[in-house]
A = this chain, B = another copy of it.
């Protein structure tokens, strides 16, 4: 979070949050965002459980199952918040179903290692993106989003396994690097699709008279930061981005 450029929010008090939501457009945009994250987590849960079937051992399967249930645990909290904001959580999630399902349909892992890279790189990228947006939101929403994206040591599990596998078979590194690039491309494709379709979310990023937003240059910088962090993540497991 340190490097994200928030002009807002850092010193907001929770009791000010109610005021923000008097702006109906802001409220709708936040509901949209929480709906997207909630569907993303529900979907990640299902895919992780699927991908865990490729695990070489029961121990690894249980570890990936733990990642999966952590994602599922966030869904209820996000849904509660959507209800508090006066919307139906399932209606809020529905608009993101097609794009997120397509992302997964286009990136079904062929083996355990592709599954691990997807869990590691995909979750990391999504978390970076949502954290960037969260920096422009009221404190309550921001805290909820950041808590929903927490990772309790599961990335370490992926890093350790991917590194070991590449050390044992260097050719695997080449294949996984290509795979990660495909994941990144597919994620950007679907993110653009969502941005084009969801006016409230786009308006949120653009800001308003009383709310700072992102101009084109700021959006460019945001994507640069996300890409840099993706590269760091790749380097961490010994893959060139």
A residues neighboring B (CB under 8 Å): 39, 42, 45-46, 49-50, 52-53, 57-59, 61-62, 65-66, 68-69, 72-73, 75-76, 79, 90, 93-94, 97
Q: Known A-B contacts: A58-B97, A66-B72, A66-B76. Give 20 more (CB < 8 A).
A: A39-B58, A42-B58, A42-B61, A42-B62, A46-B49, A46-B53, A46-B65, A49-B50, A49-B68, A50-B50, A57-B90, A58-B90, A58-B93, A58-B94, A62-B75, A62-B79, A65-B75, A68-B72, A69-B69, A69-B72
- B residues near A46, Cβ cutoff 8 Å: 49, 52-53, 65
Residues of B contacting A39 with CB < 8 Å? Answer: 58
Cα separation A52 to B42 with both chains bound (whole Å): 11
Q: A220 → chain B, closest Cβ, in Å? A: 35
Residues in chain B near residue A42, CB distance under 8 A = 58, 61-62, 65
Chain A interface SS verdict (over half)? helix
Which chain B residue has the least Cβ–Cβ distance from A88? B59
Give CA–CA (A199, B114) in the complex, Å: 41
For A52, what are the chain B residues with a Cβ–Cβ distance below 8 Å? 46
By a CB distance below 8 angstroms, the chain B residues around A69 are: 69, 72-73
| Residues in B neighbouring A65, C-beta threshold 8 A | 42, 45-46, 72, 75
What is the CA–CA distance of A65 and B76 in the complex, to the nearest angstrom?
11
Query: How distant is the Cα of A49 from the Cα of B45 in the complex, in angstroms?
Result: 9
Q: In whole angstroms, what is the CA distance A59 to B50 when docked? A: 20
A49 partner residues in chain B, CB cutoff 8 A = 45-46, 49-50, 68
Kindly identify which residue among B58, B66, B68, B90 contacts A59, using a CB–CB cutoff of 8 Å.
Answer: B90
16 contacts between A and B (CB under 8 A): A39-B58, A42-B61, A42-B65, A45-B65, A46-B53, A46-B65, A49-B49, A49-B50, A57-B90, A58-B90, A58-B94, A59-B90, A62-B79, A68-B72, A69-B69, A69-B73
Min CB distance A197 to B, Å, is 18
A78 → chain B closest CB, angstroms: 11
Give the complex CA separation of A61 and B79 in angstroms: 14
In this complex, the member of A49, A53, A57, A61 whose beta carbon has the largest number of chain B beta carbons within 10 angstroms is A49
Residue on B nearest A75 in the bound complex, by CB:
B62
Which are the 9 A-B pairs with shortest beta-carbon distances? A49-B49, A69-B69, A58-B90, A69-B72, A59-B90, A65-B72, A46-B49, A58-B93, A62-B75
